[in-house]
């Protein structure tokens, strides 16, 4: 289903890697006459690489390893990029447990709660609010009212809006711990298959523009990695460089706005897949023409909620499977 040419290319490359590893092991054994230790290491590497060589007939997209070899992962992490219209809501789900990053705008609030229930979510282990704009946190108030929420992570600034007050009131009523993470903070969630979360932004909460104080979140599960952006602008994206931002899937910043998604940032993240969350016919012109041109240059596969609705992908830590093919449609919003 997904770009068979790219898949074959990846598979051939991986085959070459496996053959190369075997050759290296044989050569080192020949020259040193002590095959034991090296053989063990190479077998482990080859085993990790092997599954990618058998996927050419499925819809799987092979994940390019961005982290060193990791132990095997038995559970499935399902990632839902919800179609909340003009706004953002992403859910990482493991069975009955979920981590939710943003909850979409007011008119999507009941949809988000109904969707989570339909998916069998019982406990929300963490809510992460990237920032306090209504199109990101309104739906989180609904989630806080409908589910037990065990922890909340949000940005360290105050907004002078009704929805900010509603959100903070709902968090207080939940009586769960609330954290304002610092850049570089890492956490793992035991009930979410040890999914690792790293806060890569903001550098600090000192930006004049509220959008620039958005949390930027890296998530790792085995060899699969994701970077979920809030509404950070290009200037502030620069303040995140120098960390490990290389991921498989990037949620484009600020709904694919021209003022975000700079060439430097796209190059540092080098995602195989980019997702844009925005509303069909939104009044902001998202995604922007120039941002789309920059994204097109990366040759990443492009997915869009405004054209494709809710997007779902799942991973076992080795490969990522999508529920539909990429849109690869670079038509800007009006």
Interface residue list for Zn ion (CB under 5 A): 133, 135, 231
Strand partners, 330: none
- Retrieve residue 221's tokens: 């599960």
In terms of CB distance, is 138 or 189 closer to Zn ion? 138
Secondary structure letter of residue 322 according to DSSP: E
Shortest Å, Cβ 39 to Zn ion: 52
CB of 201 to Zn ion, least distance (A): 15
Using the Cα atoms of residue 303, residue 308, residue 313 and residue 319 in order, give the sign of their dihedral: negative
Query: Which residue, 187 or 284, has its beta carbon nearer to Zn ion?
Result: 284
Q: What is the C-alpha separation between 215 and 236, in angstroms, rounded?
A: 11
Tell the smallest beta-carbon distance from residue 88 to Zn ion (Å).
6
Q: Nearest CA to 2 among 290, 221, 326, 220?
A: 326
Contacts of 186 (CB under 8 A, 6+ apart): 196, 197, 198, 199
Nearer to Zn ion by Cβ, of 139 and 222: the residue is 139
What are 326-332's contacts with CB under 8 Å, separation 24+?
326/2, 326/3, 326/273, 326/301, 326/302, 327/302, 327/303, 328/301, 328/302, 329/302, 329/304, 330/292, 330/293, 330/295, 330/296, 330/302, 331/292, 332/285, 332/287, 332/288, 332/289, 332/292
Residue with tokens 């609904």: 142
CB of 203 to Zn ion, least distance (A): 20
| Min dist. Cβ of residue 292 to Zn ion (A) | 17
Minimum CB–partner distance for residue 286 and Zn ion (Å): 9
Q: Residue 284 has what DSSP assignment?
A: T
Closer residue to Zn ion (CB): 64 or 257: 257
CA torsion, points 209, 100, 283, 134, in degrees to nearest 10?
-60
- DSSP 8-state code for residue 4: H
CB of 133 to Zn ion, least distance (A): 5
Residue with Cβ nearer Zn ion (97 or 304): 304
| Three-state DSSP class for residue 317 | coil
Which lies closer to Zn ion via its Cβ, residue 231 or residue 316?
A: 231
Distances (CA, A) of 136 to 70, 192, 257, 269, 282: 33, 23, 15, 23, 15
Exposure pattern of 104-116 as b/e (b: 16+ CB <10 Å)?
Answer: bbeebbebbbebb
CB of 134 to Zn ion, least distance (A): 9
Shortest spacing between CB 136 and Zn ion, in angstroms: 6
C-beta of 125 vs 133, nearer to Zn ion? 133
133 vs 196, which CB is nearer to Zn ion?
Answer: 133
- Number of Cβ within 10 Å of residue 19's Cβ equals 11
Query: In this complex, which beta carbon is closest to Zn ion, that of residue 86 or of residue 223?
Result: 86
């Amino acid at each position: 289903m997904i770009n068979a040419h790219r898949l074959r290319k990846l598979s051939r490359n991986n085959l070459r890697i496996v053959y190369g590893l075997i050759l290296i092991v044989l050569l080192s054994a020949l020259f040193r006459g002590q095959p034991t230790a090296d053989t063990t290491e190479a077998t482990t590497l080859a085993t990790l690489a092997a599954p990618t060589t058998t996927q050419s007939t499925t819809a799987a997209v092979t994940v390019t390893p961005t982290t060193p070899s990791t132990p095997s992962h038995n559970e499935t992490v399902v990632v839902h990029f919800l179609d909340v219209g003009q706004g953002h809501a992403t859910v990482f789900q493991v069975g009955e447990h979920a981590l939710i990053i943003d909850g979409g705008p007011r008119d999507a609030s009941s949809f988000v709660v109904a969707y989570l229930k339909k998916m069998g979510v019982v406990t929300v282990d963490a809510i992460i609010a990237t920032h306090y704009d209504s199109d990101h946190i309104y739906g989180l108030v609904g989630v806080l009212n409908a589910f037990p929420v065990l922890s909340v992570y949000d940005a360290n600034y105050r907004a002078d809006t009704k929805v900010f007050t509603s959100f903070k009131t709902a968090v207080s009523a939940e009586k769960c711990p609330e954290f304002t993470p610092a850049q570089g903070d890492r956490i793992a969630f035991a009930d979410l298959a040890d999914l690792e979360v790293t806060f890569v932004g903001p550098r600090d909460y000192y930006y004049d523009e509220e959008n620039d104080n958005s949390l930027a979140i890296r998530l790792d599960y085995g060899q699969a990695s994701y970077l979920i952006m809030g509404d950070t602008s290009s200037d502030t994206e620069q303040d995140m460089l120098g960390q490990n931002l290389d991921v498989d899937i990037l949620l484009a910043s600020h709904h694919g706005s021209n003022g975000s998604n700079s060439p430097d940032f796209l190059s540092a993240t080098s995602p195989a897949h980019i997702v844009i969350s925005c509303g069909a016919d939104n009044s902001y012109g998202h995604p922007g023409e120039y941002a789309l041109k920059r994204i097109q240059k990366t040759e990443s596969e492009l997915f869009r909620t405004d054209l494709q609705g809710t997007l779902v992908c799942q991973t076992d830590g080795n490969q990522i499977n999508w529920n539909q093919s990429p849109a690869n449609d670079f038509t800007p919003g009006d």
